[in-house]
Amino acid sequence: MPGIDENLPFLPLRIAVLTVSDTRSPEDDRSGSTLAERLTKAGHRLADRAIVPDDVEAIRGRVRGWVADPAVDVVITTTGFTGRDVTPEAIEPLLDKRMDGFSAVFHRISYDKIGTSTIQSRATAGVAGTTFVFVLPGSPGACRDAWDGILAHQLDYRYRPCNFVEIMPRLDEHLKRGTPKA
């Protein structure tokens, strides 16, 4: 049965949160605040938090900086579905490996709460270098669902049968072998 193995230590991660929006400010960024509150309550560290406009280069620049920063283990961003929303398009080319299962599980969780409206979600995830990158829908409810239903477990070393934390030391194996990144 999946769950937390209390015999193992909790290993805090350093997580950066990026809100992508043309209209949000630090004062009214409810999705970013939801993520920051949940990750710190879980025992992780908020490595950085930012808001950038719906602009491919602004999004890529911020995410590239965090991926290159050894003080950031995980990046979580938000996105939407309107004509200006370009977060998945900006981030997916940065990924060395995609994590298609993340979207599938997010949709399953979301369907139980909002029904067929989940098809409007463009949740995606993957690994860039040695950094996990997650793109979540921009509503506070979707951020809660993704954190509570997936990320809280997978970003906890104690979660069994497996989790992202235990494979983090091996994310750079392709670099050690001399295999070029895609």
Q: Mean pLDDT across the stretch 156-172? A: 94
3-176 — its CATH code? 3.40.980.10
Are 130 and 64 in contact, with CB atoms under 8 Å apart?
A: no
pLDDT tier at 80, thresholds 50, 70, 90: confident
What is residue 180's predicted lDDT score, i.e. its pLDDT? Answer: 46
Q: Mean pLDDT across the stretch 146-164? A: 97
Residue type, 94: L
The domain locations on the chain are: 3-176
What is residue 175's predicted lDDT score, i.e. its pLDDT? Answer: 61
pLDDT tier at 179, thresholds 50, 70, 90: very low
Give dist(CA 22, CA 2) in Å, integer: 40
Give dist(CA 85, CA 35) in Å, integer: 19
SS3 category, 85: coil
What is residue 176's predicted lDDT score, i.e. its pLDDT? Answer: 62
